[in-house]
A and B are shown apart, each in its own frame.
With several copies, the nearest count.
Chain A
């Protein structure tokens, strides 16, 4: 099982999904209402490391985080 967390202003509960890569997650979230803008402006981390390829493999227990635009300070 993969846990998917939506951080900061994204008002969405975490998901538990049976997927093996980010491409599958993209497919699911693209079909989810009200996610389009967040998909466009958010970065993705797997186990708290930012990733830049959809082919990133996921294994049981991994945590995927979706990070919308930031503004600290």
Chain B
């Protein structure tokens, strides 16, 4: 389950929804990762562009990896502007046993940061500034250089 929202996420209600959806699925471990906009570097917030077709393909590949381990994943992300102390990202895994869940959430979140086609901008003094220095080139970049 991948869902994109305009603006900041309603974290408590999303977590409640996911937990309730799987309340009788017999998963012993549920681990959400919640990412929240920090007040730093004088920003007013962050803004996100998402290339949805590729994000969905990336996510489906992780759904398949999860399935191999008897696990499922759910993810939510913001589009557009997200203000300070609002949350823009929730990734989560449900699995029968804890080790799978603990290892999966780590690998999933790290690959998300390295590969998911989402671009981040600082909102500062009314401008939207691409956060190049905090961004990661996708594996295989530079093919056309």
Contacts and interface: CB of A to CB of B under 8 A. Distances in A.
A14 to B, nearest CB: 13
> What's the interface size class on A, roughly?
20 to 34
B141 A72 contact: no
Nearest to A68: B119
Interface string B97-139: 0100000000001001111111111000000001110111111
B119 A73 contact: no
Given A30-B144, A49-B57, A67-B54, A72 B138 contact: no
B142 interface: yes
Interface string B45-69: 0001111011001000000000000
A41 B130 contact: no
A19 to B, nearest CB: 12
Contact of A72 (B112, B132, B142, B145): B112
A62 to B, nearest CB: 14
Nearest to B58: A50
A50 B140 contact: yes
A69 B137 contact: yes
Given A41-B137, A70-B115, A7 B51 contact: yes
Interface of A: 7-9, 22, 25-26, 29-30, 36, 39-45, 48-54, 65-73
Interface of B: 35, 48-51, 53-54, 57, 77, 88-89, 98, 109, 112-121, 130-132, 134-145
23 contacts: A7-B51, A7-B117, A25-B144, A29-B144, A30-B144, A36-B145, A39-B144, A43-B137, A49-B57, A50-B54, A50-B138, A50-B140, A51-B140, A65-B54, A67-B51, A67-B54, A70-B119, A70-B136, A71-B136, A72-B113, A72-B116, A73-B118, A73-B120
